[in-house]
A and B are shown apart, each in its own frame.
Chain A
């Protein structure tokens, strides 16, 4: 409560209204609440900085991926989505190194999630592309990944 009373004191000075009765205090508290709410709206837009991907890393050649898919993954995805990635969020969502060791249901599930993210155009992230527009998937690359991840045969 110490924090709150400080805030109220500040407001009192600002508004130059003397503390005379409970009613005034309530109104100030209400004002404070509205102020906090409005303030909190502005914080939602601020997001954490994305970690830079490691350049020139390549997924193990043992990986059970079709060659064309592996080529796109190495070029456009693996920099963030690898086992040693400093991009914690990217690593947690998808780690290409772990895909092979997964049981079939989990591997297919990961593919389903990849397919969905690609359909929605959520990857690579917009924030990332602002600094590195050449990281975007070309139409052909997108088609290769989408075809593979949706589990449909050619």
Chain B
């Protein structure tokens, strides 16, 4: 046998062996009562944008493609989805207190506005998740408006509380 045949065979063998390493993908749920879409903070347009471009990692509604079950891509999938949900999870939005919500929205504004999100490796495999400049701008505008809205509401509550 030639050397390249050994190399290819070796790669093939490693590929088969790594399929047996246990790798549990984060679980999914489709109906989430704490979802941001139930909060009254998002218009239909923004909710749809978030669903198409963010929800795969930043919600519990992940759609796993076939290669999520094949190592080594399954490892990447597990890492990115669990880190994504931990950083920001739209499915459990109502669990955040107002300070946290503001922090998340501020992050959304800068991550999306400065083009770091959605991640390149994700849009490469999911071209439909790419955001054009107009879509980016509308997410940023929404995040900024919503921050003002939440801060104002909180201020009103504080005033009411001190009046009583």
Contact = CB atoms under 8 A, between A and B. Distances in A.
A89 to B, nearest CB: 13
Contacts of B147: 105-106, 109
Given A104-B151, A105-B151, A34 B11 contact: yes
A53 interface: no
A108 B158 CA distance: 14
B153 to A, nearest CB: 11
Contacts of B104: 112
Contact of A112 (B3, B4, B7, B101): B101
Interface residues on B, range: 20 to 34
Interface of A is mostly: helix
Interface in B8-23: 8, 11
B2 interface: yes
B163 to A, nearest CB: 16
B80 to A, nearest CB: 14
Given A106-B147, A112-B102, A116-B103, A17 B155 contact: no
Interface of B: 2-4, 7-8, 11, 97-107, 147-148, 150-152, 154-155
7 contacts: A17-B4, A106-B106, A109-B103, A112-B99, A115-B103, A116-B103, A151-B97
